[in-house]
Structure 1
Amino acid sequence: MDTTKIREKFKSLYGTEGALYTSPGRINLIGEHTDYNAGFVLPGAIDKAMYCEIKPNGTNKVRAYALDLGESTEFGLEENDLPAKSWAKYIFGVCREMIKRGAKVEGFDTVFSGDVPLGAGMSSSAALESCFGFAINDQYNLGFDRFELAKIGQATEHNYVGVKCGIMDQFASCFGKEGSLIRLDCRSLEYEYVPFNPKGYRLVLVNTCVAHELASSAYNKRRESCEAVAAAIRKHHPEVEFLRDANLDMLKEVANEVSAEDYIRAEFVIEEVQRLLDACEALKAGDYETVGKKMYETHIGLSRKYEVSCPELDYLNDIARVCGVTGSRVMGGGFGGCTINLVKDELHDAFIERAMNSYEQKFKIKPKVYDVVIKDGARKLS
């Protein structure tokens, strides 16, 4: 993204120049609904990001301007200074979480903007938190490492935005690395970079542009199913704390002790943890056909076993299959949002054209398409 408009606005508002920072949105190639089961996820930072220009202003007030919304606000840094504007809560929350950890954060001026599409499951909010976390940390020499910056972003969501998210989004935004995905262990936060250099393939997101109401209540129900099955297995195998610790044989042992619905939900999660590990091995071997196969398996599991898909997502997945796309699945919590597709270069244009036209004909909604490239995480721009 061109940052000229940010620079021009900053100069006109504050009569000076600041430093520029950026932090990206993310995709997750495979590993869905595994995070709250202490499993693994496989995110990567992308070439769509949030950008901010920032400069300390010598006061105890933050003056912030949201370029994309044309809105400005000013707020103090005490706990009871929570700003009214929802976007400003992210910046305020990051400051407060740093102060709670003993850091000395003072007032600053900022202008920010971004090109992470909203509502497409690419974590624009985590990109915003990580962008300001990295910038404030650098400006005031606070000494937080990237781990702590990811936790600060997550705590901002929990305490100031009211979203009980996991840590994957902030982690990917902080730790992203060009040409690599991140295999993150959601229990220990140990991570490993897995090579992702799909020569001859492209990553494409197709946004259904629908969001079904079910999402939050269904998410809580799925979580309860997983916890119930883990508890049942634990009676026989005390070492099983989460479904991540269980295998399919253990699940079969408790088939009569849990509901049929809980059983099938747990089966998906146990299989998905293994699918992710298999996909990582395939990536290390440069075997993108196997990766694609695993993505399709994940979609079937999310649709039929975990039941978090919807007709629009299933339709896009079917089109991908018909068009010979290597891999395709719903990305994110489900009930709308995007499919993520691993597409051979030579099939790309025909797939996009067919997906857009037939989807619009069937659902009377124009889908959105985003080509994404895996890039670096939070950083200062020269």
Structure 2
Amino acid sequence: MIDQNMKQAVLDSFEKSFSKKDGVKAYFAPGRVNLIGEHTDYNGGHVFPCALTIGTYGAAAKRDDRMVHFYSCNQDRFGVYGINLDEEIKPTPEAGWANYPIGVIWAFEKRGMKLDKGFDLVINGNIPNGSGLSSSASLEVLTGFILRDLYGFEVSNQDLALIGQYSENNFNGCNCGIMDQFAVAMGKEDNAIFLDTADLSYEYAPIKLEGAKIVIANTNKKHKLTDSQYNARRSMCEEALAILQKTVDIKGLGDLSVEEFEAHKDVLTDPDMQKKAKHAVYENQRTIEAVKSLKDGDLAHFGELMRQSHESLRDDYDVTGVELDTLAEEAWKIPGVIGSRMTGGGFGGCTVSIVKDEAVENFKKTVGENYLKKIGYEATFYTVEIGNGPEVI
């Protein structure tokens, strides 16, 4: 559902920033939440994300010269930042948030899709910054979608996801998997995406939550993946895979069943490495089981698997922290909470919960009060809906 106020704000800001009204188009790309399947996407496993109706709004128009200008309503202190397409495109500290759309331009050019002229871009997002709901992937996919629309490049939405991931990996220095960009680019209203990250095969799974809502709780502890231990986790999993490949014929940790992992885990002599690999394997199997539960209408089991997922992310993968643990553990105590877990990369960000309609207000009040008491500052709660991928609005 497009927020007309957000759309109008980005168009008004474009006119104010660039004194131009004619030929300007408005765009939207969603944020995403992952229901289950965390830190599996770079291990060749399954994930189960969905696009949200909150996201990033953009207004853009081509220029007659080779300049590209960026302005964010959310990052007003940066003002307008510009690059010249005739100069080398590279990340710089001065660009700040604009390194994300600049990285997408760079990645398009790496694929031979060069911009003949520049453009002006204004963005306005309602994804809480640093929340782990993929504001960066939303911005990357939005930029790619705008480039396709303005310049007529022949790329699919799946290509937009791959280009966004490539730019974040190689331009912005975060070694993320494909899930975030794929969920943003391929989102479908009222459906989650059951994605096998090993080969990008996927299916849409209807999310029918009769009598329940998806509620996101934001720790309000900012995280930044490139500054976190995210890359270190990925490196350890890659090392574990290399060791296991000497014993079993696999391409990724997601190829292992629980039984196969248990039979071969002792080749991983580093206890911490073994725990990280265990999470990747068990979480992948939980995700497959969770989607089956959803198809069978067994929401209670889906919720139990969400809990197991959080416990594994806490105890084996070590990416939660006291803020996320408090939100999840307080949620589990509330009658009417079907399931709750951290979502996203971790180290801050959000939890996602499935809560019965009649319990939503009590959930927000009680979890919020207990979080404030323990952590010392407030959490923020959002009841969200599942939306579509990028579009012209």
Question: In the alignment, does 2:101 pair up with 1:101?
Answer: no
Equivalent of 1:301 in 307, 312, 315 = 312
Indicate if the aligned counterparts of 1:225 and 1:265 stay in contact, CA closer than 8 A.
yes
Partner residue, 2:262: 252
Question: In the alignment, does 2:321 pair up with 1:310?
Answer: yes
Partner residue, 2:253: 243
Partner residue, 1:338: 350
Equivalent of 2:193 in 179, 182, 203 = 182
Q: Which residues of 2 match residues 203-282 of structure 1 at below 5 A?
A: 203-210=214-221, 218-237=229-248, 239-259=249-269, 260-282=271-293
Aligned residues: 380
Equivalent of 1:76 in 84, 107, 112 = 84
Question: Once the two structures are superposed, what CA deviation does each residue of 1:39-59 show, in whole Å capped at 9, x if it has no partner?
Answer: 011111101111111111221
> Shift in Å at residue 265 of structure 1?
2.7
Question: Once the two structures are superposed, what CA deviation does each residue of 1:161-202 show, in whole Å capped at 9, x if it has no partner?
Answer: 222221211111110000111111111111111111212111
Please tell me the residue identity of whatever aligns with 1:155. Y
Indicate if the aligned counterparts of 2:268 and 2:274 stay in contact, CA closer than 8 A.
yes
Q: Which deviates further from its counterpart, 87-96 or 217-226?
A: 217-226
Partner residue, 1:59: 65
Q: Which residues of 2 match residues 186-197 of structure 1 at below 5 A?
A: 186-197=197-208
Question: In the alignment, does 2:10 pair up with 1:10?
Answer: no
Cα distance in 2 for partners of 1:98, 1:234 equals 34
Cα distance in 2 for partners of 1:217, 1:365 equals 22
Cα distance in 1 for partners of 2:251, 2:110 equals 31
> Shift in Å at residue 222 of structure 1?
3.4
SS in 1 for 2:349: strand
- Cα 1:323–1:134 shift into 2, 3 Å: same
> Shift in Å at residue 102 of structure 1?
2.1
Cα distance in 2 for partners of 1:147, 1:200 equals 33
Question: Once the two structures are superposed, what CA deviation does each residue of 1:20-78 show, in whole Å capped at 9, x if it has no partner?
Answer: 11101100000011112110111111011111111112211112222222321222124
Question: Once the two structures are superposed, what CA deviation does each residue of 1:189-216 show, in whole Å capped at 9, x if it has no partner?
Answer: 1111111121211111112223589996
Question: In the alignment, does 2:353 pair up with 1:360?
Answer: no
Indicate if the aligned counterparts of 2:89 and 2:106 stay in contact, CA closer than 8 A.
no
Cα distance in 2 for partners of 1:333, 1:206 equals 15
Cα distance in 2 for partners of 1:334, 1:53 equals 31
Contiguous gaps of at least 5 residues in structure 2: none
Cα distance in 2 for partners of 1:41, 1:271 equals 12
Question: In the alignment, does 2:390 pair up with 1:378?
Answer: yes
Equivalent of 1:173 in 179, 184, 187 = 184
SS in 2 for 1:240: coil
- Cα 1:219–1:160 shift into 2, 3 Å: closer
Indicate if the aligned counterparts of 1:35 and 1:41 stay in contact, CA closer than 8 A.
yes
Cα distance in 1 for partners of 2:20, 2:223 equals 45
SS in 1 for 2:361: helix
- Cα 1:122–1:266 shift into 2, 3 Å: same
Q: What's the TM-score, normalizing by structure 1? A: 0.93
Equivalent of 1:114 in 115, 125, 130 = 125
| Percent sequence identity over aligned pairs | 36
Indicate if the aligned counterparts of 1:319 and 1:355 stay in contact, CA closer than 8 A.
yes
Indicate if the aligned counterparts of 1:282 and 1:288 stay in contact, CA closer than 8 A.
yes
Partner residue, 1:85: 95
Q: What's the TM-score, normalizing by structure 2? A: 0.90
Q: Which residues of 2 match residues 31-42 of structure 1 at below 5 A?
A: 31-42=37-48
- Cα 1:180–1:323 shift into 2, 3 Å: same
Cα distance in 2 for partners of 1:319, 1:221 equals 29
Contiguous gaps of at least 5 residues in structure 1: none
